[in-house]
Amino acid sequence: MRPKVIVGLVLLILLVVLVAQNTATVTYRFVFWSVSMSQVILFPLAALIGFLLGFIVGSMSRRQAVAKGATGERPAPNKSGTGAP
């Protein structure tokens, strides 16, 4: 398995354990808003928002790199095939 898949599965398992252990109701206050909800809903919601923000930032930085020409690919070898310039 690829390392990213393994890390993702470990994080998913940790999130499930965290949610299962925290079932109390909490009040979340942000500036003028106050919301009461179960931690079972709050933790996955926060994880989803964090995932989406990370995905958006990652895709934006990838687009900027492609626009600048930094695709991360190796330069093509020269026509002689020796690798010398």
Q: What is the pLDDT of residues 49-73, one digit of tens each?
A: 999 999 999 888 887 777 777 555 5
18 by Cβ neighbours in 10 Å (0-12 / 13-18 / 19+) ranks as: middle
38 closest CA partner among 51, 50, 55, 26: 26
Helical (H) or strand (E) element with 33: strand 33-38
State the amino acid at position 10 in one-letter form: V
C-alpha to C-alpha distance for 3 and 10, rounded to whole angstroms: 11
Q: Where do the structural domains in the chain lie, given as residue ranges?
A: 3-68
Q: What is the pLDDT of residues 28-53, one digit of tens each?
A: 898 888 989 888 888 888 889 999 99
